């Protein structure tokens, strides 16, 4: 398949997990009705972004893979004939949890999963309390619509993950995301943060010659601890082509089913013109395995 219609489901969330999942599923159905063959859901789409605080009760949100959510999404995928990328709070074992993206094939089977490798620990984003870093590496997942390089949120700031996925044959880079503004930041700082987020991911497309799909949530979510003013998730889900060109871009406030048509032949043509993989000097990159060059 060389021409692929994709969809990103950007929406706000509530504390009602059943409601959130139903909203995601309705979005998948509408996207499929409009011709999408690959549908991407935002990071941790079943719940509020619970990592604003460290609360042991939040581990109750975790589930196994396969489990209740993947069972429901598998039924949806099979009935509609679409590939779904879902981001879940995975319970691997008692006391062992991951931030995991699971890919469900169009026949309802689980094609594979990716466990988030880079785990942030910042005010309002206390993910190290909840998630063990991934142990599956940067391995693309083969599906009927192509080889998907799935990563998650904080991974999007690191060029190494995008490069390794591309080197392993990923035809698309996909980032389920939950990122937003601190409401106390001024408008200029908020714009700088948003611009940086878009630029770094467009750069992954350019540097690797592959399209990028980034799906974020919208809406304000309060801080349960009242230590902050919460997070205003900035939306702006987008799809690029292999030169970083914007194919579709959602706004910062509205729920949206963002659709885009991707010509996968363009990656082949772009890589012939800009052969970065050919010209990489791997004989001089040894220091990249160091944290820092002192």
Q: How buried is 260 (Cβ within 10 angstroms: 0-12 exposed, 13-18 middle, 19+ buried)?
A: buried
Active site residue 105: no
From CA 161, how far away is CA 203, in angstroms rounded? 13
- Report pLDDT for 294: 87
- Spell 105-135 as b/e; 16+ CB within 10 A means b: bbebebbbbbbbbbbbeeebbbbebbbbebe
Q: What is the domain range of residue 238?
A: 3-280
Q: How many domains does the chain have?
A: 1
* Domain assignment present for 290: no
Residue 286 lies in a domain: no
Q: Per the residue annotation, which of 23, 43, 127, 256 is the catalytic one?
A: 43
Domain membership of residue 91 (yes or no) is: yes
Closest CA to 34 of 22, 26, 46: 26
Q: Is residue 220 part of a domain?
A: yes
Asked if residues 13 and 48 have their Cβ atoms less than 8 Å apart, the reply is yes
Residue 100 belongs to domain with CATH number:
3.60.110.10
Q: Is 153 a catalytic residue?
A: yes
* Domain presence at residue 285: no
Q: In what order do the strands lie in the sheet with 218-221?
A: 180-181, 231-234, 218-221
pLDDT recorded at residue 62: 98
On whether the pTM is more than 0.85, the answer is yes
Backbone angles phi, psi at 71, to 5 degrees: -60, -45
**Is residue 264, in this structure, part of any structural domain at all?**
yes
294 domain residue, yes or no: no
Determine which one of 116, 215, 221, 256 is catalytic.
Answer: 116
pLDDT recorded at residue 194: 98
Clarify whether 116 is annotated catalytic: yes
Catalytic site residue from 153, 171, 215, 221: 153
What is the structure's pLDDT at 1? Answer: 57
Query: For position 2, what pLDDT does the model report?
Result: 87
Residue 124 lies in a domain: yes
Q: How far is CA 259 from the centre of its chain?
A: 16
- The list of the chain residues with pLDDT below 50 reads none
């Amino acid at each position: 398949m060389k021409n692929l219609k994709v969809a990103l489901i950007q929406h706000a969330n509530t504390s009602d997990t059943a409601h959130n999942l139903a909203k995601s599923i309705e979005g998948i159905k509408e996207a499929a009705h409009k011709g999408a063959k690959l549908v991407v859901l935002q990071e941790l789409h079943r719940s509020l972004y619970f990592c604003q605080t460290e609360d042991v009760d939040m581990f109750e949100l975790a589930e196994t893979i396969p489990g209740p959510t993947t069972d429901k999404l598998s039924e949806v995928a099979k009935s509609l004939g679409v590939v779904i990328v879902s981001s879940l709070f995975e319970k691997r074992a008692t006391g062992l949890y991951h931030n995991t993206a699971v890919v469900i094939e169009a026949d309802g089977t689980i094609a594979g999963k990716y466990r988030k490798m880079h785990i942030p620990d910042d005010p309002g984003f206390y993910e190290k309390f909840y998630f063990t870093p991934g142990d599956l590496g940067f391995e693309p997942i083969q599906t009927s619509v192509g080889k998907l390089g799935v990563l998650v949120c904080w991974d999007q700031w690191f060029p190494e993950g995008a490069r390794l996925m591309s080197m392993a044959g990923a035809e698309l880079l996909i980032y389920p995301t939950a990122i937003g503004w601190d409401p106390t930041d001024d408008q200029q700082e908020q714009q700088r943060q948003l611009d940086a987020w878009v630029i770094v991911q467009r750069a992954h497309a350019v540097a690797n010659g592959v399209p990028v799909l980034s799906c974020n949530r919208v809406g304000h979510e309060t801080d349960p601890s009242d230590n902050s003013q919460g997070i205003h998730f900035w939306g702006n889900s987008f799809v690029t082509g292999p030169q970083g060109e914007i194919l579709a871009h959602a706004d910062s406030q509205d729920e949206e089913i963002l659709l885009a048509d991707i010509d996968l032949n363009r990656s082949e043509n772009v890589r012939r013109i800009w052969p970065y993989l050919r010209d990489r000097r791997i004989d001089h990159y040894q220091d990249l395995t160091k944290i820092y060059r002192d």
